[in-house]
């Protein structure tokens, strides 16, 4: 059986893009897969400077946000990446198999190093750590005796049989469109490791949601982002109804008053249409039909109302969960224990393959 793994950086409250591009499908996948793992990737977050106290708060707030969206710790393993040291260890090994030019054009480095005019080694190798996150859970929730049998059996299979076995164990990774290149690197690194040592890691595959990329409300040519300095560009899950109405009303559109869906020529209004379709569970065509006869000003009120309906219960639940920090800490500690028990046998085998003992 395949398993699900995904991650989110604790760099602030999640926004509507995180929700529609990833978190909504994270919740749905809990019903479809037996091993579902979601990580608050704090190691990734320190590739940008973080205030330690603020980071601690952000990690717990992110846990509260994920639970409020519907992540259920009895059906998913929710954990903090830095608490499972195997992530960093596998990342080092994979980094030794990665060439410098392969990383140079990946989005995180290109965007963030340009903003600061420089960047750290950690920022450069960010996608290698992401590959390690995903590949580390190749067994999912098999019990330890099954893992042992599987790994013994495995050595007796021919290459074709190994590839077949790996194919049906590949990890599914629900992410937004901006992560596709990172996923391709994880696939490449699985292949490179397998060529260098032996067929061991299944190639992961991306699961893209219907809303692949939510755009900034102030600049529809760029994606909605937690770190956008423009206050009105991003709808956060904790925004009040008034905040949401204001941000949607001020969203950049164009001079045509009709509502149409033409992402290339009318990115602003098309962004509103695709957010509206996603939060109301309708198709883009249905939403455009509904907006017939409205101008974009009137339509913005309808979109804002639909977003408020979706986010209001989540906002209230985040507020409730945030108050009990002890409960959040203990949930994350239990999650880390479970994740560690799955990561440990994989790392034992990796160490053997690499020749460490
Ligand atoms: P992060 O924290 O930037 O984003 C978390 C998820 O939200 C999606 N997303 C969006 N989707 C649609 N429209 C947007 N405007 C938008 N902004 C963000 C992202 O695609 C992502 O799925 N590198 C990852 C974290 C990570 C990870 C992993 C993911 C670390 N290890 C292993 C998957 C598997 C990131 O930066 O997420």
Task: Compute the distance between CA of residue 321 and CA of residue 67 in angstroms, rounded to an integer.
Answer: 8
Q: Which of 4, 10, 22 to mutate to test the pocket of ligand 1 (most atoms within 8 A of CB)?
A: 22
The ipTM assigned to this model is: 0.99
Using DSSP's 3-state secondary structure scheme, residue 143 falls into coil
Q: Which residue has the tokens 């195997």?
A: 86
Residues 151 and 199: beta-carbon distance below 8 Å = no
15 DSSP assignment: B
Are 29 and 120 found together in one domain?
yes
Task: Compute the distance between CA of residue 137 and CA of residue 36 in angstroms, rounded to an integer.
Answer: 10
DSSP annotation string for 46-61: TTS---HHHHHHHHHH
Domain count for the chain: 2
Q: How far is the CA of 297 from the centre of ligand 1 (A)?
A: 31
Are 329 and 316 found together in one domain?
no
Residue 223 falls in the annotated catalytic set: yes
C-alpha dist (Å) from residue 79 to 10, 12, 277, 328, 340 = 12, 17, 31, 10, 10
Residue 300 falls in the annotated catalytic set: no
Are 7 and 154 found together in one domain?
yes
- Ligand 1: residue whose CA is nearest its atom 29: 7
Are 148 and 32 found together in one domain?
yes
What is the signed CA dihedral for 356, 93, 86, 79, rounded to 10 degrees? -170
Are 158 and 201 found together in one domain?
yes
Using DSSP's 3-state secondary structure scheme, residue 290 falls into helix
Residue 226 falls in the annotated catalytic set: yes
The verdict on the CB of residue 21 being under 6 Å from ligand 1 is yes
Q: What is the CATH number of the domain that holds 82?
A: 3.40.50.620
Q: Which one of 138, 213, 215, 223 is the catalytic residue?
A: 223
Are 89 and 26 found together in one domain?
yes
Q: Is 222 contained in some domain?
A: no
Are 308 and 330 found together in one domain?
no
Task: Compute the distance between CA of residue 55 and CA of residue 57 in angstroms, rounded to an integer.
Answer: 5
pLDDT in tens, the chain (357 residues): 689 999 999 999 999 999 999 999 999 999 999 899 999 999 999 999 999 999 999 999 999 999 999 999 999 999 999 999 999 999 999 999 999 999 988 877 777 777 666 789 999 999 999 999 999 998 887 766 777 777 777 777 787 777 776 766 789 999 999 999 999 999 999 999 999 999 999 999 999 987 779 999 999 999 999 889 999 999 999 999 999 999 999 999 999 999 999 999 999 999 999 999 999 999 999 999 999 999 999 999 999 999 999 999 999 999 999 999 999 999 999 999 999 999 999 999 999 999 997
Are 167 and 308 found together in one domain?
no
Give the domain range for residue 101: 3-212+325-354
The verdict on the CB of residue 65 being under 6 Å from ligand 1 is no
Output the pTM of the full model: 0.94
């Amino acid at each position: 059986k395949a398993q699900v793994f995904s991650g989110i950086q604790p760099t602030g409250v999640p926004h509507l893009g995180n929700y529609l591009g990833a978190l909504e499908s994270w919740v749905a996948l809990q019903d479809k897969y037996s091993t579902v793992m979601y990580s608050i990737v704090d190691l990734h977050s320190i590739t940008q400077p973080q205030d330690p106290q603020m980071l601690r708060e952000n990690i717990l707030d992110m846990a509260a946000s994920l639970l409020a969206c519907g992540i259920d710790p009895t059906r998913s393993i929710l954990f903090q990446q830095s608490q499972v040291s195997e992530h960093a260890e596998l990342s080092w090994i994979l980094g030794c198999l990665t060439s410098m030019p392969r990383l140079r054009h990946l989005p995180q480095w290109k965007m963030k190093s340009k903003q600061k005019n420089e960047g750290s080694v950690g920022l450069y190798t960010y996608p290698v750590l992401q590959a390690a996150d995903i590949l580390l859970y190749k067994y999912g929730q098999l019990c330890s005796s099954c893992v042992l049998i599987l790994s013994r059996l495995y050595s007796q299979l021919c290459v074709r049989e190994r590839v077949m076995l790996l194919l049906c164990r590949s990890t599914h990774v629900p992410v937004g469109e901006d992560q596709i290149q990172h996923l391709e690197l994880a696939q490449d690194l699985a292949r490179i490791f397998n060529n260098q040592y032996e067929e061991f890691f299944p190639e992961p595959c991306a699961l893209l949601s219907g809303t692949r990329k939510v755009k900034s409300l102030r600049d529809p040519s760029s994606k909605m982002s937690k770190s956008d300095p423009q206050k009105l560009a991003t709808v956060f899950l904790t925004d009040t109804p008034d905040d949401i109405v204001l941000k949607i009303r001020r969203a950049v559109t164009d001079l045509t008053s009709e509502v149409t869906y033409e992402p290339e020529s009318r990115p602003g209004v098309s962004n509103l249409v695709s957010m509206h379709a996603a939060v109301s569970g309708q198709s883009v065509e249905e939403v455009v039909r509904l907006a017939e006869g409205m101008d974009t000003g009137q339509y913005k009120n309808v979109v804002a109302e639909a977003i408020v309906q979706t986010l209001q219960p989540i906002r209230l639940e985040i507020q409730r969960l945030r108050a009990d920090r002890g409960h959040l800490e203990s949930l994350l500690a239990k999650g880390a224990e479970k994740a560690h028990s799955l990561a440990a046998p994989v790392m034992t085998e990796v160490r053997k393959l690499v020749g460490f003992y």
